[in-house]
Structure 1
Amino acid sequence: MNPVTPPAHIAMFSIAAHGHVNPSLEVIRELVARGHRVTYAIPPVFAEKVAATGARPVPYTSTLPGPDADPEAWGTTLLDNVEPFLADAVQALPQLVEAYADDIPDLVLHDIASYPARVLAHRWGVPAISLSPNLVAWEGYEEEVAEPMWREPKQTERGRAYYARFEAWLTENGITQHPDPFAGRPARSLVLIPKALQPHADRVDERVHTFVGACQGNRADQGDWQRPAGAGKVVLVSLGSAFTKQPAFYRECVRAFGDLPGWHVVLQVGRHVTRAELGDVPDSVEVHDWVPQLAVLRQADLFVTHAGAGGSQEGLATATPMITVPQAADQFGNADMLQALGVARRFATEEATADRLRAAALALVDDPEVARRLKEIQAEMAQEGGTRRAADLIEAELPGRAGR
């Protein structure tokens, strides 16, 4: 028998974004169930969701755009995207230092976007584990992806100023590491996506990164969804929670699927599109700001998705064929991976016309090879361990525990 792990104080740190918080919640719930005291530093908008796991929310004020912010708030360039994270980290760190002054944890867990967590772990001298909700760097990533992407911004005055600010902040906190490996090369990482979604998985250092796959609970707290009687096929259309301001695309989806005999459409449009912007919507299409996505996918025949890491793995976990329409960030790479796996068709937003969407949908849902590949990947994912394995590996990193 393995010795019982003594209860510890484990502190999780994340940002206020669904795609960064949701993947960690079941792991946190499991750690609490095992008797650990877990605190979770998060802006107040997610405090209730965190508290439902049994962890104690540690609220802090963030300057990042909130989970329901207009996508345009993130800007359009690489520096537009990254500067807010550094600015937020600099202003959040003193808040978190004060919040944990008399309650230093035994171990730090952190989302990839939580720079203060890594600084705090260094200052406290405690282990830190990255919980990555999307792909991780492989051997050669810097040369193949990062350097070409950053070549031009690094030559600008603004880009040089960004790196100077980042390095100065790290130096102030006793960290000599360059910002690039600080942000992208953790000492220990649990990857909360299936290995099937990881590009160049054969070149990932698995001494650092352990793929535990999807950590999905029953999500009963998110509500349920029932397939309508008589629905021959159900398609879920969702561009996630952030980049949802696409009324023209939603209109194409209504045209593509709304009059297909026997088809029922669940259309999630987010908070920035009104029903009126969709035009005439037939009775076979239900329109929502938000849906309990996993509950719908468990009964769906097709998923039209932006290919975010969470949605992609939920599509794989439920063995649902996908049409991907990536909008930002890692979604383009995820869409490529899903298509290469033989379980999806990818379209750019401007290419996603009603005729193309309909043709792809009919081909996907009736293809036995797509169904076979999905079942195969679903079985592989089940072997990755998910929530329980993630918790086991976290406990193995607690001070005083040997091995991984």
Structure 2
Amino acid sequence: MPDRPRIVLATAPAFGHLYPLMPLAEALVRAGADVHIAVGEPFLGRLPVPTTRSLPPGLTSLKDLTRAVVSEFPAVRDDPAGRWAPALFGAVVPRAAAPQLRQSWAREKPDAVVHEALFPAAGIVADELGVPSYTFGIVRWAPFVGTIRSVARAALGDDPRPPWALGEPQPALDVGAGYVDPFPVTLQGVAGLPAARVPIRTAAWAERAPSFETSLLARPAGGRQRVFVSLGTVFNTAGSLRTAVLGAARTGAEVLVACGADGDPAALGPVPDSVKVHRFVPQALVLPTVDAIVHHGGSGTMLAAAQHGIPQLVVPQGADHFVNAAAVTDSGIGLRPDADTPEGIAAAVGRLLGDHRFRDAAAAVATEIAAMPSPDDVARRLLEAF
């Protein structure tokens, strides 16, 4: 390994895939590595470290690749829950990414690769080059996470089976040199975890924030409770968001709403005076000021709230939201509503605000997260191992 090793962190072009990697990327820079991010067009040239392409020009987002799934594998419609992820992350994304990565890394070979768990092409190309690689967990551990590299390798070869059949029988776990895992054991479980697990403390990260009202960082006057509502960047439809907002408002708490950079506050329609709607909310700064959060169940939001010891109401919309909702309820740090209606949301938020057991359980998980190795600790460990 050279004195200043070239480390590439590779990811699909989506906030929830890229952002979890960034604290480690910056820690590797502080540790002396030459760090590059392989990512798609929306993020090229706008990150605090150099970027290279992870996908060919023209594919600007996961939405582009999602459209390709239905076109190439129409049978995913017959069983979306079982077929969508293998088709997208085990076949369509690797087939788009692998040629681009081979071309880029043939010119400048990395000394090591860290790739997010749903971007297995990076690990496959690293193997081809004899370069060590680590998998970074952006979702809760499941057998699919440990076998997706094998599924993608078969999809890139001559195997004629559809991608959802490539994991049968289940291949051996393949996470490269190790599995970097930001999930605390309480939210993760330990069944089936790879022996080479490298825990890392979750850390909030965002690109340079647009301007925001500093009043967002102040707790409400008179001891009034505060609830934060966010449905993320992908599933934040106005209808679902309005339902969550109106339900939270029924508790009498102040409700702070993030409708997303592409959202329109006016699309929510009339809301009570206690509701404050913004396109952008600096989540990492706001979370210490809230008493509960209502969210979609994305891994990043779940971990950020857990890090701050905040009781959570999860209203799952898709993707990994349902398994995250199960982790939240099983650990006692939050709930799912009995019904996705304003009444159901109000009842669940009321329980979170009024029952100290949720906050006590959330505080215990926050303590567990605080004891995990920091990104700087993990960066040093990785560089020593390469």
* TM-score, with structure 1 as normaliser: 0.78
Distance 1:164 1:328, change over 3 A: closer
Distance, in Å, in 2 between the alignment partners of 1:107 and 1:24 is 15
Q: What's the RMSD between the two structures over aligned residues?
A: 3.4
- Structure 1 counterpart of 2:23, from 22, 26, 41: 26
1:55-94 aligned at under 5 Å gives the runs 55-59=49-53, 60-61=55-56, 66=61, 77=80, 78-85=82-89, 86-94=91-99
For 1:190, the aligned partner's letter is V
2:345 partner SS: helix
Cα drift, residue 106 of structure 1:
0.9
Asked if residue 258 in structure 1 is aligned to residue 258 in structure 2, the reply is no
Counterpart of 1:240 in structure 2 is 232
Asked if residue 284 in structure 1 is aligned to residue 274 in structure 2, the reply is yes
Could you report, residue by residue, the CA deviation over 1:26-74 in whole angstroms, capped at 9, with x for unpaired residues? 100010111110111111211245x31xx21002436767268899997
Report which stretch shifted further, 181-190 or 109-118.
Answer: 181-190
Cα drift, residue 196 of structure 1:
1.9
| Count of aligned pairs | 360
Distance, in Å, in 1 between the alignment partners of 2:233 and 2:172 is 24
Q: Is the 8 A contact 2:41 2:60 kept in 1?
A: no
Asked if residue 363 in structure 1 is aligned to residue 351 in structure 2, the reply is yes
Cα drift, residue 165 of structure 1:
9.0
Could you report, residue by residue, the CA deviation over 1:334-363 in whole angstroms, capped at 9, with x for unpaired residues? 111111111101137xx1222222222122
Distance, in Å, in 2 between the alignment partners of 1:229 and 1:166 is 53
Q: Is the 8 A contact 2:146 2:175 kept in 1?
A: no
Distance, in Å, in 2 between the alignment partners of 1:381 and 1:106 is 30
Asked if residue 185 in structure 1 is aligned to residue 174 in structure 2, the reply is yes
Q: Is the 8 A contact 2:247 2:346 kept in 1?
A: yes
2:183 partner SS: coil
For 1:128, the aligned partner's letter is S
Counterpart of 1:390 in structure 2 is 378
1:362 partner SS: helix
Asked if residue 222 in structure 1 is aligned to residue 209 in structure 2, the reply is yes
Distance, in Å, in 1 between the alignment partners of 2:185 and 2:132 is 25
Counterpart of 1:300 in structure 2 is 290
Counterpart of 2:111 in structure 1 is 106
Counterpart of 2:156 in structure 1 is 169
Counterpart of 2:42 in structure 1 is 45
For 2:335, the aligned partner's letter is R
Cα drift, residue 284 of structure 1:
2.1
For 2:156, the aligned partner's letter is W
2:44 partner SS: helix
- Structure 1 counterpart of 2:240, from 228, 240, 249: 249
Distance, in Å, in 1 between the alignment partners of 2:2 and 2:370 is 25
Q: Equivalent pairs: percent with the same residue?
A: 23
Report which stretch shifted further, 13-22 or 357-366.
Answer: 357-366
Could you report, residue by residue, the CA deviation over 1:3-41 in whole angstroms, capped at 9, with x for unpaired residues? x99321111111011111010101000101111101111
Distance, in Å, in 2 between the alignment partners of 1:126 and 1:341 is 38
Asked if residue 379 in structure 1 is aligned to residue 371 in structure 2, the reply is no
Q: Is the 8 A contact 1:244 1:272 kept in 2?
A: no
Asked if residue 313 in structure 1 is aligned to residue 303 in structure 2, the reply is yes
Distance, in Å, in 1 between the alignment partners of 2:203 and 2:3 is 24
For 1:130, the aligned partner's letter is T
* TM-score, with structure 2 as normaliser: 0.82
2:8 partner SS: strand
Gaps of 5+ in 2: 71-76, 160-164
Cα drift, residue 329 of structure 1:
2.3
